[in-house]
Every structure is written in C-alpha cells, then in structure tokens.
A and B are shown apart, each in its own frame.
Chain A
Amino acid sequence: MLIINCPYCGPRDQSEFSNGGEAHVKRPDGSKEIGDREWGEYVFIRANPKGLFYERWVHTHGCRKWFNCVRDTSTDEILVTYKLDEKKPNLNNFKSVVKTPSGEPEVGSGNFTVEK
C-alpha cells in the first residue's frame, strides 16, 4: 500500500484515494471545430509508460480534491504531488532516483530475485 501525500491534507493511506489516469491531458474546447482524430485521441488515447508518469489522483475519502503527481510506474513510487494549478515538474529532476526493483530490465516484467 502506498502512502500518498495529498497537497491539501498531507500523507494518507492509498485506500483513501482514487486514481484518475494521465494528467495534463487538455480537454479540447468543445465550442471549436475539432477533427474526429483529435477528439478521439483526447477521449481514448492515454500514455502508459514504464517509468515516470504524470498522473491525476483524487482524495475521494478525504478532502475530495483532485491533484497531480509524478509516479514511477515501475516501482509505484510517488515522487511528488502538486496542486492542479501548480506548474508540472520537469521529469529530468527525477532521473537520478529512478530504480526498478531487482534491477529489472526497462522492458518486460523481469521478476528477478538474484542480481543479473
């Protein structure tokens, strides 16, 4: 279970939160002409990287506020949380802390217990 640092309430248990998928996906302005492809990408297409990922969470069983975070999807570590109106942090700031459990390769599940 993760500990998530709600920008409004402080560190709380993961069970109080819900995940809201990729962050910083801008909703196209509905009042303007939008092509099928552009709209379809907004509705259906989300990134799914292994590694650092901007992500939205909501403190469902708490303050009910939405916020953003940077999560490492390979370790589940949440590196930083920030309010919606704050600037998104540069991912390069976090490169140094990226590590995967058991030194697994960048691609694939690699469930190793012994150093390769």
Chain B
Amino acid sequence: MKSINLKDNQFIQFHQKISFKFDGVKYFGYKGDTIASALLRNNINLVGRSFKYHRPRGIYTCGIEEPNALVQIISEYSEPNTRATIKKIYEGMEIESQNRWPSLENDFGSINNLFSPIFTAGFYYKTFMGPHKKFWKNLYEPLIRRAAGLGKPPKDFKGISNHIHHNVDITIIGGGLNGLLAAKSFINSNYDVLLIDFEEQLGGIINNSNKISLIDNKEPKDWLKETIQEIEDSKNIKILKNTLVTTYNYINHLIAIEDRFVGSKPIEGKVNSTLHKIRTGHTILCNGHIERFLSFQNNDLPGIMLSSSFEKYMCRYGLAPSKEPVIFSNNSNSNSLVYCLIKAGLKPKAYIDSRSGEEIEPNLFDLIRKNDVPLYTNSQIKGAFGNKKIEKILVEDSSGALNEIKCDCLCLSGGINPDVHLFTQSKGLLDWDEKDLTYKPSKPFQPTITLGSASGQFNFDNLNSDINEKLKTFKVKKLDVKLELNTNTKYNIEKLWEVSPQKKSLWAKSFIDLQNDVTTKDIRQAITEGFDRIEHLKRYTTNSMGTDQGKISSINALGIVSDLLDKKVNEVGTTIYRPPYAPLSFSAIAGRNCYEFYDPERKSPIHSWHLKNGAIFEDVGQWKRPWYFQINKDESMHDAVQRESKNVRENAGILDGSTLGKIEIKGEDALEFMNLIYTNSFTKMKQGSARYALMLGEDGMVKDDGIICKISDQHFIATTTTGGAATVLGCMEEYAQTEWPNLKVFMNSITEQYATFNISGPKTREIMKKAFPNINFSNEEFPFMTFQFHEFNGIPIRILRASFTGELGYEIYIPSNSAPKIWDNIQSVGKEFCLAPYGTEAMHLLRAEKGYIIVGQDTDGSITPIDLGLSWMIGKSKKDFLGKRSLTRSDTIREDRKQLVGIIPSNKADKLEEGQHIILDKEIKSPVPMLGHITSCYYSSTLGHDFALAVIKNGHSMIGTKAYASTSSMSTTGVDIVKPVFYDEDNKRLVS
C-alpha cells in the first residue's frame, strides 16, 4: 500500500518532523499524527498479530473502534494494548507490536493458523478436559496463556492520575456538529454546561469527512472556528477536550478520562490522566455513529479498512493511505469517500456496490461514470487474497461472473450504527430500525437526550427542528443553521452481513470479530450446538468480548444470527453494553488513593519512641501497633515474645494500649442506657469502680468486650477492642436514636484524645509509687477494678487498676499531647525494676495463659457468653439488654454448642497450631466428625510447653477428657481438654 501526503491540511504540521521507533526501526511522522497515520505515511500496514491464529493484521479504522492496531508503548511504562489509531506520536516515542515471536514478519505462533480448523468455538472447553485435572493447571493453561493474548502487562506501576468532581446542569457528550449546535444553544444561558470531546479538536464530522460543504454560507472550518470561539467565550460552558466518557451510571453520573499528555511524553511524577466524575442534571448524547464492516473470506488482511476511516485519514490527517483503493459498500455512507478521492485528484480502482444500479444515488453514478471508475453494481466481494497484505480481490458481478481485481487497499462499508453504548449503559431502550438496519435509541431511562447520528438521524434534513424540539424544555433560543452538503443523498442501505466464500475450505475464514478471532463459522457452530441465545452465543464464541467490544462488528453478528434463526433482529436482541466504553487503566481509577494514601495509618502518640526502640509493627485495623520489640537485629520473634512475657511475669512490662477504643457516655439516663447496651448490671456498681463488660448482638452472640468505668450514674467511660471501636460507637448511637430516643444520653469517641499505658507485673506497684509519688497504690487505697483521677505535674491523668495479663496491673490514661513525657518518665524510673516494653504478641500470650478471650479471635460471631463460661457477667435480674432474649432461645440453650476450653498436648513436647481441628479418634477416617477448632495457640516459657484455647462441641462437659488435634499431614496429636485457664487460677497475683 503506497500512501501519499495531502499537504492541504490544517491539523498536521508538515513542517514539523517527528521521529519515533516501531519495533526498533526509526521512522518519521509529522506533528499531529497518530501512530496509525504515521505508520501509514511510512507505508507500513502490518502492525500486529491476531489474538488466536496469529494472523497478520493492519490498521482497520481511524478511531476508538480499532480492533486490530493495538501496540505496546515502550516509552510509557510499557503501556500495552494502546490503540494506534488514537494515540498521538511524539519525538522519541518507542512502540512495539504485540503478540508475535520472534518478529512481526515471521511469527512462530502463526502456525496456529494451520491448525485453525480445530480451534473453533468451544475448543478449549471441549479439548482440555483430561486425562487428569492437573493437566489444565500445569500444562494447558500455561501453554494457552503463552500463545494467545494481546500485549504484555507493564512491570512497574508509575502512571499518576487525579480525580476531579463536577456538578453541572447539562453535560454534552461529543463536540461534533450536533454537540456544538447544542452547546451554542446554551451560550450565556443560566445553565452550567460541560462539553466533552474525545479529540483535541472539536468538530467531529466537519473535520473527519468531506460531507459538509457550507454552514451558514461559510466554509465549515471558518464556521467551526467562530462557533468554538463563541462557546469558549461563554462563561457558563466549560469544554473538556481529550476526554472520553467511559461510563454512564445511575442518576446521571458520568465517568470520563482525560489524557493530559496528548502528543507528548508523560513527565514522570506529573499527573498524566484525570478521571472526571460528573454529576449532571441532563445528559445530551452527541457521540455520533460508528461504521461497521462486512464479512467475507480474509476480510482481516492488512490493507483493508473502513471507508469512513479512509476518508478521515484524508480529511483529518492529510494522508491518503492508498492512491487507488477499491471501495465495497452496501450503503450510501461511502459516497462521500468517492467525492473526497476525486477532489484530491485520486480515483478509486473500482467501486463495488451490493445494491442495484437504481438504488445507487444518481449523483454518484454520474461522478463514477465521468471519471471512468470501474463500477460493479449488484456485486459482492467473495474474498481478498495476498501474503500479509491485500493483493487482489475476487468480485462476483451481477451476472454471477467472477472478476479478479488487483489492488493494494480495500475500503469497506457495511452501514453505520448510532454509538449506543452510553445510551444503553444509562439503561435506555433500543429499537431496531428495519429501514436503516441498525439499533437506534428509543426510550431513555434517565434524563438523557440524543442528538444527530447518535439518535439515529443519519440525514441532515431535520437538523434544526430536531435540536429545537429536543431542547425545548430548556427554553433556550432556537437554532436556524443552514447546511449545504457535498453529497446530497439520503441514507440508504441494503441488507448484507456476509458473503460466502467461493470455495468451501476448512481454512477459509470470514471474520466477525477481528480482535477475538471469531469467524462466521464459529457463530454457525454455536447455534448448531444450541447456543442460540445471544448472551450465550457471545460467551461461547467470545464474539465482541475483546477490548473493542465489537464496535464495528457486533450488529453484523446479530444480523447473521437473526438470519440463521429466521427471527427478527429485535427478537434476537442485543447483548448488554457494559462500561467502560473503552479500557480504562487501574491507575486512573485508583487516582491518588494508592501507596501511602491507600488507607490512613493511625499511630499512637508514642509511635516515635517505638520506632527508636526496635519495635516491629503489626497492623490492627488502621492502627500500627508494636508487635514485639527486638533488642538486637538477630533476635527472633519467638525469642523476643518469650523474653517480653517472661519479664512481665517476673518483673514488669509496659504496653502502649493507646489504640484501645474509648467512648465517653454522658447524660441523665446514662446508667439506664449502659444497662441496656451491655450484659452487666451497672446499677449497684460504686462510683469510681470498673467492670469487665460484654456487648452482645440481638442474636445473643458476643460482639465486643471492654472495661466500663463508672464516674457517676450520669457519666461512664467505656473501652472497646482496638478493631471494634467504630462499630461499638455506631451501635450505641443507633440504639440511642432508633430504639430509645426517650433516653437522654450522648456519646462520643475519645480514643485519640487519650493515650493508654498498661503496666503490669509483680514489680508494678514499686514503679508506680516512684513514678507518681503522691498517689497511694496500696491494695486498700487502690483495690483491683477501681480507678482514680489525679493530677501529675499539671497533667490530668486517670489511673485504672486492671490487668489483661493476670499480673498486678494499672492502666494510665493521659491526654495524648502529654503522653510521651509521662511514658519517658516511667521508662526511666522503671529501669531499676527491669521494666521493659512488650508488644501485642506477648500480650496475647499472657492473656491466653490466664484464659482471657479476644473477641474476634476466640469468638467468631457464633459464641454466646454462656459458651465462653462467662454466665456470671449476665445481669440476669435486668429486664432487658441487647440480645438478652436470644440467650434463652432453643438454639442458644442447646448443650452441644461449641464452648470455650483449654487444650494442652498430652505429650508436653508436642506442638499445636491455631486452626487445628479437634477430633475424637486417633485415626483419621473420613468422614471425620469435627468437634471444633483451636482458636489461640502459643508456646509458654512459664508453663514450658504449648497450650491453646479452643471452641469445641459440648466442651464444658468434656473438660478432663482426652481428644486429638488433626495435623495438616493427616496425622493426629493427642491432647488433654482442660479448663481455659493455665496460670494463677485463684487470681492471687491479680489482686495482690
């Protein structure tokens, strides 16, 4: 295919040469060129290999609908599957073709084409079944993945995108003739208007074709310039260029992606795309139409392109891809290409039309005659032939005789479709137009207006009245635009979906989906096999499932199917058009919500101290909590945890508990409210005392636990688990508002206002005395489960005597800003008592030794307080509390419920693991009745062996018996079921 430049073009800057590389070879294009137009200028038309058969493929279109010319942009983080027909070139751009090895010219995978008779629809489903299921995972899938496909995924994620929100009255999608006229109507009106176009230049059909000769008696490009200027000057209209609307959601919510580096290389570290999230009152769709192709043998050869695309290359890119293309059409839309070619001093090699001579427009007839263009009416192309490019075609003329025509380019037109993707995404309904042979928008579901060819108006006769009528509700000024056309014809089309090949052969291929390599034969086979519903057929054949969503071919498939089934196309229906309209990168969707901004990190006021002291952190919800502290780089986690826990048992340890949820509850009816929320009764509780409390769901299952401090009947402070803080506050608010609005009570989170230090161990009292000399920490003055308010160096603090380790312990609550000072002070006075920090893992070990549960670890939403052996915490005399009634339901009083027990290995040297199943038999013989599983498991250096907590069926009555824990290697470990407490059962240490 030899192309020529048409230098009379306003969009391409022919004085500005740009060099780029394609598959390692350097080429030149001009500023304004897309990759496709630049390659065509260099007479390159083989640009890729097809998905399945590795057939040579060229540039088929000139826009977003491109199925074939997908390339990998090496110079942009190796971005794959970029449409060469829309991506603009820039100096130094590096491009590679896709899905070929070792090279585009000589592709090893093209051997698939030889075997193609077996690669038909359903090939994978039928073939790769045996002999063993492992074959799929280890052999077939890796092989298929290597052979099939498009581009390679990029290794690094570097693209940066930001998000912009818009809230407007009217959004006009498409800045072509109708979009501009609609925008013009709204100039200086009271509406906020957004005009979005995918291209850099507004104008659509005015720029892309030769159809319009005069607008309001002006040259189209002059009218365009004036109109755009007027729209830009209007303060209420904003124009977004290079922006593609990909998604039309519910309530007129649109998503559009803007390319910020059109025609230049993205700068690293700068935003290269913007995702626009648009909320609009009305949407006006002016997104035009898409030309479809035709199926015949080898309709995928490089050198074949759509006729309107050829015209667009001439008008928009100053380039005729070929000097003498053959035109094959079944409709009047390709007329303007003939005019365009002749105007440029070129002429078609032949004009082939499936319509009869009477149907062809007389003007065109005259033009063709006058210029001696060979004309074939009532004729069809039976096939195209050539080696990696089109070399000749076979034409069956009206007499049935076959004519061979040598050519280097074939322009196809199978008719045009309104671009209904966005309209159907909005849930609008389509209707089949039997005259124009296409689906057209009929009933909108949302406030959606369609104009121009997007609404199925393929002629320009009613341009003014249509816009005026549809925009009537806005009460804007009426349009009166005078349009003169070059081709004064009404849209006319004859039904033609497919031409059958001349010779029947297993290798003859007429494609229906170029990107997914689906042939018309596949469609026939699917229907024969019973996949006659269009949605089934689509999935079985993968028709229109490529990244182009079959934009140029899906209607043809419907036509073929309706003929085969002898149904109307309306009865066949269409498959659903789903967003996005064109692929959208994950980085654009993620925007700035990635890396450090992906999820907020919450840090305690002591975080920097932890960092300096060897803390290894654990994520608890959004919190960063010290998991354990390494005293040197070589210390293993096991050693650190054992050292920390041993130190708590022998000396004293300090834990940063600032992440615990803290909720303050106040109000006249606070006492009644707390009695309703928690299982415990707080009525008889003394002021200044504290209580371990459980919160249930209405189903009676444990939802959270914590310590409640009663300051007075009108004032409580509750702690929650670190992860449960938001849920507990939410639950309290819900019940206060929805069930008991009569109670005067208020609650607020004070988690971040106060830091919490948990100090525990036998030497704690000594440390506390030294750290806070004016407070009396004796057992009489400060008994277990009481709290006191004090002031220390002007800082108000609250000290609670409580413990989660089983040792003597205190919790200190300090305003966050003053917390580091007091933490440092405790560290320095604690030195002589061997005080050391401990992390969450040691805390878990210590609490498990005492049999204290962790909600969410030892419980899973199906465990009641009775199952945990915590019946004593239920305020039985209370009339009501959350979940109370559920505790006496037939299901919750069953005796064989899973209940909390302790587990120790019968042979103390044996190891246990979290998640192990507890079973009764030593031998594993399936089916194995399972009693339950281990929920927490640790090695304790205090005990000298592994121990665990477990929930098992009827557990309480099994205490004292033996059972087995199954291992992942299908063996078992003998275990003793014991009470869930392993250390200081009498609480002597706790209250000492």
Contacts and interface: CB of A to CB of B under 8 A. Distances in A.
Interface of A: 1-3, 20, 27-31, 34, 36, 39-40, 42-44, 56, 58, 60, 64-66, 76, 84-85, 99, 101-103, 111-115
A41 to B, nearest CB: 12
B156 to A, nearest CB: 30
Nearest to A29: B880
Given A1-B251, A76-B250, A43 B431 contact: no
A1 B439 CA distance: 28
Which 3 A-B residue pairings sit nearest by Cβ, starting from the closest?
A: A30-B880, A101-B427, A31-B879
Nearest to A99: B445
A102 B429 CA distance: 6
Interface string B735-757: 00111010000000000000000
A114 B432 contact: yes
Given A31-B879, A42-B698, A102-B427, A56 B738 contact: yes
B346 to A, nearest CB: 41
A103 to B, nearest CB: 7
B730 A66 contact: no
Given A2-B251, A30-B880, A30-B885, A114 B574 contact: yes
Given A42-B698, A85-B741, A102-B429, A111 B889 contact: no
A114 B570 contact: yes
Contacts of B430: 113-115
Contacts of A20: 734
A113 B574 CA distance: 7
Given A1-B250, A102-B445, A115-B429, A30 B881 contact: yes
Given A36-B890, A112-B573, A113-B576, A1 B442 contact: no
Interface string B403-434: 00000000000000000000010010111100
A113 B424 contact: yes
21 contacts: A1-B253, A3-B251, A31-B879, A34-B885, A39-B885, A43-B699, A43-B886, A58-B733, A58-B734, A66-B733, A66-B734, A66-B737, A66-B738, A76-B250, A101-B445, A111-B576, A113-B429, A113-B574, A113-B577, A114-B429, A114-B573
Nearest to A112: B573
Contact of B250 (A2, A31, A56, A112): A2
A3 to B, nearest CB: 6
B770 interface: no
Contacts of A113: 424, 429-430, 573-577
Nearest to A13: B279
B728 to A, nearest CB: 14
B889 A36 contact: yes
Interface in B675-700: 698-699
Contacts of B445: 99, 101-102
Nearest to B880: A30
Contact of B279 (A3, A27, A40, A103): A3
A103 B427 CA distance: 10
Nearest to A116: B573
Contacts of A99: 445
A36 B445 CA distance: 46
A84 B250 contact: no
Contacts of A30: 879-881, 884-885
B488 interface: no
Chain A CB within 10 Å — which of B442, B699, B737, B738 has the most?
A: B738
Contacts of A29: 880
B300 to A, nearest CB: 28
B443 interface: yes
A59 B883 CA distance: 25
B886 A39 contact: yes
A101 B879 CA distance: 49
Contacts of A65: 737
A39 B431 contact: no
Given A1-B253, A113-B573, A113-B576, 7 more contacts: A2-B250, A27-B698, A27-B739, A34-B885, A40-B889, A113-B429, A114-B430
A115 B886 contact: no
Nearest to B165: A13
B698 A43 contact: yes
Contacts of B443: 115
Nearest to B253: A1
B587 interface: no
Interface in B428-461: 429-432, 439, 442-443, 445
Contact of A84 (B253, B575, B738): B738
A22 B279 CA distance: 28
A40 to B, nearest CB: 7
A7 B818 CA distance: 40
Contacts of B424: 113
Contacts of B699: 43-44
B133 to A, nearest CB: 32
Contacts of A112: 429, 573
